[in-house]
Amino acid sequence: MIPACAVADLPEGEAVRIPGEVPIAVFNVDGEIYAIDDTCSHQDASLSEGWLEGCLIECPLHAASFDLRTGMPTGAPAKKPVRTHSVVIQDGVIYVVPQNQEAVV
């Protein structure tokens, strides 16, 4: 489990990025916490800096859009999904359990 941040530090509609070899982005959508790979499957851009609309995150570079619940792209230019990760909240802290498999195509 990787600690992301305190629940209090991630207001609704915001995102936080966990740096690392494979960075992870954590989002708060109306109180629900989601974690996905931070790097867009299309090209090098950080999804945590993207535009959040409902459960969709739009890449800040080319407007590729992903569903936070499934990691699936909603259309061009991204073709491949991003991985989703489980989230655990303990004592007011958000933890991410990284999923090691490749994203399911």
Cα 84 to Cα 65: distance, rounded to the nearest angstrom? 14
Angle at the Cα of 12 from the Cα atoms of 21 and 19, rounded to 5 degrees: 10
Binding of residue 72 to other proteins (CB under 8 A): no
Q: Which stretch binds other proteins (CB under 8 A): 32-40, 55-63, 66-74, 90-98?
A: 55-63
Contacts with other proteins by CB under 8 A: the residue count is: 14
Binding of residue 60 to other proteins (CB under 8 A): yes
Q: Which is nearer to other proteins, 78 or 95 (CB)?
A: 78
Enter the DSSP assignment of 43: S
Q: What DSSP element (H or E) covers 4?
A: strand 2-6
Q: Is 84 in contact with 69 (CB distance < 8 Å)? A: yes
Residues in the chain: 105
Binding of residue 81 to other proteins (CB under 8 A): no
Q: Which stretch binds other proteins (CB under 8 A): 18-26, 27-35, 37-45, 64-72?
A: 37-45
Binding of residue 7 to other proteins (CB under 8 A): no
Amino acid at 25: A
* Site residues (vs other proteins, CB under 8 A): 43-46, 49-51, 58, 60-62, 76-77, 79
